Structure 1
Amino acid sequence: MAKYMLVLRGTDESFKQMMETPFDQMLETMGRFNEELIRAGVLVAAEGLDDPSQGVVVDFSGETPVVTDGPYGETKELFGGFYILDVASKEEAVEWAKRIPAIPGTKVEIRRVPGIDEFPQDNEWIIREREWRERTGQR
């Protein structure tokens, strides 16, 4: 099994359409899909994000970090939420992504999440992280 992050990216138009969808309808649609993921035993985490205009960006392009309000740069593809699935393969992650009840114009980026076992186990920071994970029940 491997973890994959499914990053939901919308456009200005798809974000506007989503905001026009009745909230209860959106919750039911996403809830039904989430329930499928839960029943299949593959859901690790899933979150939607607040309006991008409420966000803050810390830009490290210069000598010192610059903080600005609002969405970062172009809003052609806003990061609107994510799923983390624990599945057998990238192909299975793709199949789940194809089933997301997304609004037209949305794209889903799929990225594998490397596990802690893939890093040098004798590294001091990996040892500390593994201890933290054990203390907090993180996997």
Structure 2
Amino acid sequence: MAKYLISFPSAAMLVPDHELAEVGHNAHAVIEEAKAAGVYVFAGGIDESVSPVLVAADGTFTSGGYPWAPALNGGFTVLELASRDEAITWAARIAKACRCDQELRVFGLDS
């Protein structure tokens, strides 16, 4: 079993305001299905109202993330699945519910 990250940046979600409640309902329904299937690890989104902090090895910190990297935002789901094909199937279900493409990555866990 591997853990898969299914995610999208905030800018990918181009849903009219009057449809956001339906999208939220549909996305939560898929998450409930993942929980019922026993594959759910966690899900959520980056709180964009809280600025990131870049912490150095010596413990000093500065406001903001890496200045050269794109902003990290959007929604994330982590599922534990038996295969990449199964992960693609779940990512497609989430994409349909959220009405935007999802990026799929596998975690290389340090165990």
TM-score higher than 0.5? yes
Paired residue for 2:63, among 57, 61, 67?
A: 67
Task: Give the secondary structure class of the aligned counterpart of 1:6.
Answer: strand
> Aligned partners of 1:41 and 1:68: how far apart in 2?
36
Q: How many residues align?
A: 104
Matched, 1:39 2:36: yes
Counterpart of 1:14?
13
TM-fit CA distance, 1:103? 2.7
Q: Residues 47-89 of structure 1, C-alpha deviation per residue, up to 9 Å, x if partnerless? A: 1233x3x1313458xxx854249xx9767xx631111100011
TM-fit CA distance, 1:116? 3.5
> Aligned partners of 1:44 and 1:38: how far apart in 2?
8
> Aligned partners of 1:111 and 1:40: how far apart in 2?
20
> For the aligned residues, what is the CA RMSD?
3.1
| CA separation of 1:74 and 1:116: change in aligned 2, threshold 3 A | closer
- Structure with larger Rg: 1
Structure 2, unmatched stretches of 5+, are: none
Q: Residues 9-62 of structure 1, C-alpha deviation per residue, up to 9 Å, x if partnerless? A: 231x735x36x1466434421221112212221111111233x3x1313458xx
Answer yes or no: is the 8 Å Cα contact 1:6–1:108 preserved in 2. Answer: yes
Matched, 1:94 2:93: no
Task: Give the secondary structure class of the aligned counterpart of 2:13.
Answer: helix
Answer yes or no: is the 8 Å Cα contact 1:9–1:81 preserved in 2. Answer: yes
> Aligned partners of 1:87 and 1:65: how far apart in 2?
36
Q: In percent, how many aligned pairs have the same letter?
A: 29
Answer yes or no: is the 8 Å Cα contact 2:81–2:87 preserved in 1. Answer: yes
Matched, 1:56 2:55: no
TM-score (ref. length: structure 2): 0.68
Counterpart of 2:99?
103
Task: Give the secondary structure class of the aligned counterpart of 1:115.
Answer: coil
Answer yes or no: is the 8 Å Cα contact 1:9–1:109 preserved in 2. Answer: no
TM-score (ref. length: structure 1): 0.57
